[in-house]
Structure 1
């Protein structure tokens, strides 16, 4: 059984004490494909080192996270562009809009989002979207940029059924992680109305650990709890969910 974690920050400082053991634990349980989103230029070297250490398992994205769109965002976007020109990546991400932490940067967040969508189109890559308290703003950008070569993943999808269908209409898969196990997560109430072909699995480790680890450090192995929940929601075996969602990830990342 091959399980794909489409979104995991394995380079995070939260794993500095046991990174190799944590990754090995996951691989031994079948979680053998890790797609790694970027945050900003300060993490690029750590990401490259991770890929060197686990070349068969670790697949990198490149992008500027919306919460890191600050005064120096143009230099950061130039770094993203330079890296995409220099070598291959599997997606442009994670990118998007986050209005939870700072609404004052909306204008430059939107600018950075559009810029990176266009880079993704240039390099024929998927995008991986970060959205927090910004569905309307995200959809506005996607509507203006929609085309056959716009596709990707709506990471950590927490919207309602209508928003799910809207995201899918822009050629996005829905990234489902620990939130589906939360009592107040809500997405578990309508996911069975969404065809599994639109779903990929993720952890967002070290964040958003699923029940029963909620509130603790998340790790890629815990994706098994997400699998179990989806198995119950869809009435399919864990193996079947793993197979379908991995196939979906291959479709997005071409890997």
Structure 2
């Protein structure tokens, strides 16, 4: 069994062939799909997809850092309301993104801390988005760290030092299509990280692995990521699938409860 711990299946990129795409993933052995939230505009489409695949789709709730704008407090109120009314598997994806807009750093940090508080309140993991912001994300995590703060560093693209720091802060590393890129770099040190700290993800429709780089990504491609990780660790794909599935369950708990 394979698990896609981060996939935007509700994206408009799948509007033409969503059911066929899901079947391709099932055919590759992918049984569970974790869907991170973006903002209020996408909430209903997430609920609709959960209704269509109740045993396979597992929802997070949160405000994506690139959606932290002037109205972010309204968006955070929406997130809080969803937690009052529904069950979720995690708080995510949350964090800091300075690739697109550095001017919002202050409110991104505020939104990040606010949602970490939600995770602690509901005893849920967090799923972190970090782009061009490792120092800023770690600064928040260091001040908020506690035994009840844990989760996944989604789409990890840092160096080995940053990987070890993330792990020391109770985070698993989300490994996706970047591990197959020639310039991705993480394949150069990943095997120095014990496999129990790794989970697999696609981040579809983004970051498709080789040989589909630059094209639409989809959850069935998790098998290609698994294959590359197996090569990096010099173990079988079955071993990678078994351990990373266990790791996902360790973070998210019993999926059948949600």
Q: TM-score range by the shorter chain?
A: over 0.9
* Equivalent position of 1:178 in the other structure: 177
Runs of 4 or more above 3 Å deviation: none
Alpha-carbon deviation of 1:246? 0.5
Cα distance in 1 between the residues matched to 2:51 and 2:20:
16
Alpha-carbon deviation of 1:29? 1.5
* Equivalent position of 1:74 in the other structure: 73
* Equivalent position of 2:190 in the other structure: 191
Alpha-carbon deviation of 1:81? 0.4
* Equivalent position of 1:165 in the other structure: 164
Alpha-carbon deviation of 1:141? 0.1
Alpha-carbon deviation of 1:55? 0.7
* Equivalent position of 1:141 in the other structure: 140
* Equivalent position of 2:115 in the other structure: 116
* Equivalent position of 2:32 in the other structure: 33
TM-score (normalizing by structure 1)? 0.99
Structure 1: gaps of 5 or more residues: none
Structure 2: gaps of 5 or more residues: none
Task: Provide Cα deviations, 1:129-150, integer angstroms capped at 9, x if missing partner.
Answer: 0000000000000000000000
Alpha-carbon deviation of 1:189? 0.2
Cα distance in 1 between the residues matched to 2:38 and 2:81:
15
CA RMSD of aligned residues (A): 0.5
* Equivalent position of 1:14 in the other structure: 13
Count of residue pairs brought into register by the alignment = 254
Q: Secondary structure at the match of 1:230?
A: helix
Cα distance in 1 between the residues matched to 2:248 and 2:195:
12
Equivalent positions of 1:49-68 (< 5 A) are 49-68=48-67
* Equivalent position of 2:88 in the other structure: 89
Cα distance in 2 between the residues matched to 1:186 and 1:209:
16
